[in-house]
Structure 1
């Protein structure tokens, strides 16, 4: 049986799968930035950053977390992801900056893969933080407005806003003045459209995961009375 609850009604209640999804959210975020961001790939004549294949999965999991467990717990996951990205950036800088042992041949490869400029790191952190909070906020509010109906509308609509905010922050902060204004605008719009399209394609998967979690957890959270400030981690 699935109970429709306000967010405050599940405080202290055991949640069987929340920790797993929080870990998956942070892992996908880190790996898509660490492994995918450094490579440009080409398929069918179209060139794109390889991370775009997996980074949107973080938004899918963010949708699942907000839909099933509520905005407050999704907010904890966003802050956990932000802290993990910040630590990854500091660790990458330290490891790359350490003097290489004499005769070790891979320093340039390390610099190429892990030596992102602080401008790009800053842009990634700000864009992720703002985009994920926008995504969770829109989904939670749309759930109240639709009274829990039309999940596809909420997941796609929140991604349109969240990925839009992400792109509006990341590309100008990272590349304005390095690329032409036209290039920044083209890449920003193209990648936003691809990410939203990927979310739409994954809608059946989102439905299946949300349905499974609601049944197994026995709850369905509505954010009535929730404090939507992003500047807290307490549920």
Structure 2
């Protein structure tokens, strides 16, 4: 039988991996690359793993811990974006010749950063509730199924919030340089959804890193 200490260690490791993946995804999302000639933000290749990592934390440490993790990661990403922008705006020492390059690469695009953070909060909290509903109301068997269902619901929500928030012609952002025609936004949505769905599916085995908890008696999951 797996000890509580082992479960806690897995939970802590999943927390660290989750926050790390969130930070890397937010940094790399400022670059728009191509997949088969179609636009995709490059954070899409790592971000979907966070949905399954969130499930591992939920399984090992409970729903309250998972909610706290989501909000904490969002705060970390927001603080990171603000700090990077402050650093980018500081004058470079005369001996340092890469100040402009640093600012161009790591000075965050606030519209993308904010859209990404809002998408993370909305989708990951939704993932928490769907996952919890499944184990409390449906079954505690078929652990892959609880992850697959929660990811299937939350990934599209994340995708639409990000695509519309970052690139959509919203009434107050029509003149923003990142605003794209709705056809282009739809293309980004479709490609990102396909990539996120594939990466999310590949990450499903991570849920078996931790032993399951007693969902019916744990007061922290009521």
TM-score bracket for the superposition, by shorter chain length: 0.7 to 0.9
1:129-158: per-residue Cα shift (whole Å, max 9, x none)? 111101111111111222202222221211
After superposition, residues 107-122 of structure 1 pair within 5 angstroms as: 107-122=99-114
TM-score by length of 2: 0.83
The answer to whether the Cα contact below 8 Å between 1:2 and 1:220 also exists between their aligned partners in 2 is: no
* Aligned twin of 1:231: none
**1:213 paired residue among 189, 210, 213:** 210
Q: Which protein has greater RCO, CA pairs closer than 8 Å, 6+ apart?
A: 1
After superposition, residues 57-68 of structure 1 pair within 5 angstroms as: 57-68=49-60
Give the match's secondary structure for 1:48. strand
Aligned length: 212
TM-score by length of 1: 0.79
**1:18 paired residue among 6, 11, 14:** 11
Cα RMSD of the aligned pairs, angstroms, is: 2.7
Mapped pair 1:93 → 2:85:
yes
* Aligned twin of 1:124: 116
**47 and 184 in structure 1: CA distance in 2 versus 1, 3 angstrom threshold:** closer
Q: Structure 2 unaligned segments of length 5 or more: list them.
A: 170-178
C-alpha separation in 2, matches of 1:180 and 1:33 = 23
C-alpha separation in 1, matches of 2:105 and 2:32 = 12
C-alpha separation in 2, matches of 1:51 and 1:186 = 16
C-alpha separation in 2, matches of 1:30 and 1:59 = 14
Mapped pair 1:50 → 2:37:
no
The answer to whether the Cα contact below 8 Å between 1:167 and 1:192 also exists between their aligned partners in 2 is: yes
1:12-69: per-residue Cα shift (whole Å, max 9, x none)? xx933322221111111101222x2233445665653322221111112012112333
